[in-house]
């Protein structure tokens, strides 16, 4: 998934960490990746514009149902059909080449012109997706992009994997898949899990710590994760589907805590696009806890988050 995975598993069983790695590889290669030929999402995208419905696995259908409902409830701030826009910007490749030491002029050349952005935007729109018992159908040129939720989905699948192990064999685990973290069970000493929230103003440091007991998913979306600066302006990887440009809603990061990984991950992205005020309402609608770090460096959070977060 183009990210770092770290895991701590309290177990007396051999091979649990290998099972975790295997599950992540399979999920990426077989289902979610739009890059991996042979994945389900790639097949759906390749068939866009054809009359036939593409059959879906129960898993992908389930994910898409959740994602389309988040799209609707966020007024389109989250949009799983954003692929043509993210493909045009290609921030991932861009940021990777920048961190590999290539110069910023290359980045400048990579900013798409307004007309190209407008055309790509026309190829997006979650309300144009047809989901039926037969499968899914996308209009010509539309591309699904599950990049906002792959890591959260992985957390859900990992929680299922861990829950299937004998309870005597595994007492607790904390697994971090890029910007999403699963806490599961208990630490041997019974103290809460401590999850640091990155300080977006100084990413080597943290803005505070979440104390979590038992099973939770935590996802953060931030403008510091994948970006390039060109002529003093930051172009990051979270797009506003209303404009086709990087979202600019007054926040630098959003952290969402809830029981579901797909929801925490989708909501963190949606809330980043919406900003603190509307984002709070969306999080509350889902019964999720959210923490916004604003451009001014202040914290805005749901009531329940106050009990979990220590600045």
Which of the listed partners (ligand AMP, Mg ion, none) does 172 bind, with a CB threshold of 5 to 8 Å by partner kind? Answer: none
E strands within the chain? 5-11, 130-132, 135-137, 170-177, 180-185, 193-198, 206-212, 216-222, 227-230, 233-236, 239-240, 245-246, 251-258, 289-294, 299-301, 309-310
CB nearer ligand AMP, residue 264 or residue 302: 264
Cα distance between residue 2 and residue 158, in whole Å:
18
| Residue 268 found at the interface with Mg ion (CB under 5 A) | yes
| Residue 147 found at the interface with ligand AMP (CB under 6 A) | yes
| Residue 241 found at the interface with ligand AMP (CB under 6 A) | yes
Specify which residues 254 forms β-bridges with.
221, 292
| Residue 220 found at the interface with Mg ion (CB under 5 A) | no
Residues 104-143: x/- map of binding to Mg ion (CB under 5 A)?
Answer: ----------------------------------------
Rule CB under 6 A: choose which of 107, 110, 172, 179 binds ligand AMP: 179
Residues 30-59: x/- map of binding to ligand AMP (CB under 6 A)?
Answer: ------------------------------
Phi first, then psi, for residue 115 (nearest 5°) are -65, -40
| Residue 148 found at the interface with Mg ion (CB under 5 A) | yes
CA-based nearest residue to 210, from 140, 93, 302, 285: 302
Contact indicator for 272, 300 with CB cutoff of 8 Å: no
CB nearer Mg ion, residue 143 or residue 151: 151
Rule CB under 6 A: choose which of 159, 238, 263, 288 binds ligand AMP: 238
């Amino acid at each position: 998934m183009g990210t770092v995975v770290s895991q701590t598993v309290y177990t007396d069983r051999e091979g649990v960490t290998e099972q975790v790695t295997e599950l992540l590889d399979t999920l990426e290669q077989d289902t979610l990746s739009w890059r991996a030929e042979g994945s389900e999402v790639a097949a759906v995208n390749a068939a866009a514009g054809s009359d036939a419905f593409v059959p879906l696995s129960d898993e992908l259908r389930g994910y898409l149902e959740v994602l389309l409902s988040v799209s609707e409830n966020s007024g389109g701030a989250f949009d799983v059909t954003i692929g043509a826009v993210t493909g045009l910007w290609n921030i991932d490749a861009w940021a990777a080449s920048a961190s590999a030491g290539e110069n910023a002029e290359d980045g400048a050349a990579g900013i798409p012109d307004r007309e190209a952005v407008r055309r790509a935007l026309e190829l997006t729109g979650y309300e144009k997706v047809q989901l039926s018992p037969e499968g899914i159908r996308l209009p010509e040129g539309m591309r699904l992009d599950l990049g906002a939720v792959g890591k959260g989905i992985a957390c859900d699948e990992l929680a299922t994997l861990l829950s299937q192990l004998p309870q005597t064999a595994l007492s607790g685990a904390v697994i971090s898949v890029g910007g999403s973290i699963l806490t599961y069970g208990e630490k041997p000493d019974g103290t809460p899990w401590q999850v640091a929230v990155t300080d977006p103003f100084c990413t080597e440091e943290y803005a505070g710590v979440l104390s979590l007991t038992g099973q939770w998913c935590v996802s953060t979306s931030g403008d510091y994760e994948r970006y390039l600066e060109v002529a003093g302006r930051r172009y990051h990887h979270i797009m506003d589907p209303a404009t086709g440009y990087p979202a600019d809603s007054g926040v630098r990061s959003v952290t969402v805590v809830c029981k579901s990984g797909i929801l925490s991950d989708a909501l963190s992205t949606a809330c980043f696009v919406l900003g603190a005020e509307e984002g709070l309402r969306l999080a509350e609608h889902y019964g999720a806890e959210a923490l916004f770090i604003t451009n001014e460096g202040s914290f805005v959070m749901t009531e329940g988050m106050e009990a979990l977060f220590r600045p």
